[in-house]
Amino acid sequence: MLILGIETSCDETAASVVENGKHIRSNVISTQIDIHKKFGGVVPELASRAHVELVSHVICEALEKADCKLSELSAVAVTNSPGLANALLVGTETAKALSFSLSIPLIAVNHIHAHLYANFMEQSSIVCPVVGLIISGGHTAVFYVENCNNYVLLGQTYDDAAGEALDKVAKMLNLGYPGGPEISKRAEKGSSKVIDFPRAFLGKDICNFSFSGMKTAAARYLECNSIKNLADVNDICAGFQQSVIDVLIKKIVSAAEQKNVKTILIGGGVSANTEFRKQLSEICKEKGVNLFFPSLKLCTDNAAMIAGLAYHRYKKGKFEDLSLDIHPQLQV
């Protein structure tokens, strides 16, 4: 069974053809980093315009790389939640048109659930139930995953997402966009012990997050302390990154203990962070918890995870009609 996936939730225009939920026949991603870089962040109107210009080309390239004809598709899947409203509309309306013209099922996919499903595409040993942590520029959330079709939200951020906080601190330091990867690079050369930034844990056994105050603490530090050299920048990056990592690890390990599960899944762009992967891996090993990360190509926004998760929705007969709407906010 071949499913075409379309992803336009933010600033990546992506299309992919996936066979039977796992075998990735193609995975085409057109990034908009160069468009948004000079603004220091994603500009929604520019993002949606770029999607309009690129989506047809990206789909054609995905079909070509998959050696797949439109007539061979069993269904078309699309991200309809969460994300930027106009960006979601581009992908959703494109998918509707394909579904109607080809007379094939239309499948709606939650982008955040798909980030966790990316692990199932590459690992056959995952046994549900598990807990999962999504960390990206737009979302930080913890889920209890009963199976590939059932995701229960345990907690999420009250304000900034982890990736957003990292990006904003990078902007304060004039490190460019996207800032998270640059923070990670600088942190490798600095020491996390020089500056002890605060951590927001929000009490024991609570799976919600708040990074706004942590970001503000970094801003106050920069207001009160002069940066003398590159070493100072590296230490600030290392210290702030460690404060974020400590919160993320505490929350997901606590969630696994609360739900009495022995497997943790991680997803989203920030899951590519090297130091986070290292520290969480060490803790999970100590506690005898199985830990899975997607490969780097499936950490950031992509359509393969959309088409992959859609396979399981297809098997359950979870199809949409042409009245399918978008939901910019995270739907649980």
| CATH 3.30.420.40, the chain: domain bounds | 2-115+298-315, 126-294
272, pLDDT greater than 80: yes
Average pLDDT over residues 222-233: 92
Residue 289 near residue 259 (C-beta atoms within 8 A): no
Fold of 126-294: Nucleotidyltransferase; domain 5 (3.30.420)
Average pLDDT over residues 135-139: 90
Cross-strand bridge partners of residue 109: 79
Average pLDDT over residues 294-310: 96
Question: Which of residues 247 and 205 earns the better pLDDT score?
Answer: 247
Distance of alpha carbon 312 from alpha carbon 332, whole angstroms: 18
- Predicted pLDDT of residue 90: 98
Exposed, middle or buried: residue 275 (CB in 10 Å: 0-12, 13-18, 19+)?
middle
Average pLDDT over residues 283-291: 97
Distance of alpha carbon 215 from alpha carbon 298, whole angstroms: 27
The reply to whether the predicted model has a pTM over 0.75 is: yes
pLDDT interval class at 332 (50, 70, 90)? low
257, pLDDT greater than 60: yes
- Predicted pLDDT of residue 188: 96
Average pLDDT over residues 51-68: 98
Fold of 2-115+298-315: Nucleotidyltransferase; domain 5 (3.30.420)
- Predicted pLDDT of residue 164: 93
pLDDT interval class at 331 (50, 70, 90)? low
197, pLDDT greater than 60: yes
pLDDT interval class at 33 (50, 70, 90)? confident
Q: In what order do the strands lie in the sheet with 12-19?
A: 23-31, 12-19, 2-7, 75-81, 106-110
The alpha-helical segments, DSSP class H, found in 173-273 are 179-188, 212-224, 230-259
